[in-house]
A and B are shown apart, each in its own frame.
Chain A
Amino acid sequence: MSIRKTATRGLTLALVGSLALTACGSDGDGGDDGKVTLNFTWWGGAERSERYEAAIDLFEQENPDIEVQTSFGEFQDYWTQRSTDATSAELPDVIQMDASRLLEYANNGLLYDMSEFTDGGALDVSQIDEELIASGEVNEQLVAIPTGTNTLALLYNPDLLAELGVEIPDWDYTWDEYHDFLAEVTAAGADMDPPVYGATDYTMVWWFFMQHLVQQGIEPFSENGEMNFDEEDMRTFISSTDELREPEDLTFPAERTEQLLPKGGFTSGEAAVEFHWDNFLHGYSADLGTENMQLMPVPSGADGQKHMFFKPTMQLSMGANTDHPEEAAQLIDFLINSPEAGEIIGTDLGVPSSQGRLDALNVEEGSLDARVMEYEQRVRDEGHATATVPVQPEGFGALETEYVEVLAQEFGFRQIDTDEFVERWFGEAPNLLVTY
Chain B
Amino acid sequence: MTVTHEASRATRAGGPARRPQNKRPSRRAAETRAGYAFLAPWLLGFIALTAGPMIASLYLAFTDYHPIRGGEWIGTENFTRLFDDPRFLDSVQVTLTYAIVGTPIKLAAALGVAMLLNNRKRGKGTYRSLFYAPSLIGASVSIAIVWKAMFNDQGIIDDIGDYFGTWNGGWVGDPGRTMPMMILLAVWQFGAPMVIFLAGLKQIPNELYEAAQVDGAGPMRRFTRITLPMLSPVLFFNLVLETINSFQVFASAFIISGGRGGPANSTLFYTLYLYQRGFGQGGQLGYAAAMAWLLVIAVGIITLIFFRTSRYWVHYSGEGR
Chain A residues engaging chain B, CB cutoff 8 angstroms: 1, 3-4, 6-7, 9-11, 13-14, 76-77, 79-80, 83-84, 86-87, 104-105, 108, 110, 254-262, 395, 397-398, 401-402, 405-406, 409-410, 412-413, 415, 424, 427, 431-432, 434
Contacts and interface: CB of A to CB of B under 8 A. Distances in A.
A262 B87 CA distance: 24
A108 B69 contact: yes
Contacts of A258: 172-173, 262-263
A261 B263 CA distance: 11
Contacts of B30: 3-4
Contact of B3 (A6, A110, A254, A424): A6
Interface stretch (B184-192, B230-238, B278-286): B278-286
Given A402-B281, A431-B284, A83 B68 contact: yes
B68 A105 contact: yes
Nearest to A395: B282
A79 B86 CA distance: 24
What 5 A-B pairs have minimum CB-CB distances, sorted nearest first?
Answer: A398-B282, A413-B264, A258-B173, A259-B173, A10-B3
Instruction: Tell me what chain A mostly uses at the interface: helix, strand, loop, or mixed.
Output: helix
Contacts of A415: 264-265
Instruction: Tell me what chain B mostly uses at the interface: helix, strand, loop, or mixed.
Output: loop
Given A3-B7, A254-B264, A14 B281 contact: no
25 contacts: A3-B11, A6-B10, A9-B3, A10-B3, A11-B37, A14-B41, A76-B280, A77-B259, A80-B279, A86-B67, A87-B67, A104-B68, A254-B264, A258-B172, A259-B153, A259-B170, A397-B282, A398-B282, A398-B283, A401-B280, A401-B281, A431-B64, A431-B282, A431-B284, A432-B282
A3 B170 contact: no
Contacts of B84: 427
Interface of B: 3-4, 6-7, 10-11, 14, 30-31, 34, 37-38, 41, 64, 67-69, 84, 86-87, 152-153, 169-170, 172-175, 258-260, 262-265, 279-284
Contacts of B284: 431
Contacts of B281: 398, 401-402, 405-406, 432
B44 to A, nearest CB: 11
Contacts of B262: 258, 409
Contacts of A260: 153
Given A7-B34, A259-B173, 5 more contacts: A258-B262, A410-B265, A413-B175, A415-B265, A431-B284
Nearest to B275: A80
A259 B178 CA distance: 12
B36 to A, nearest CB: 10
A426 to B, nearest CB: 13
B280 to A, nearest CB: 5
A235 B85 CA distance: 21
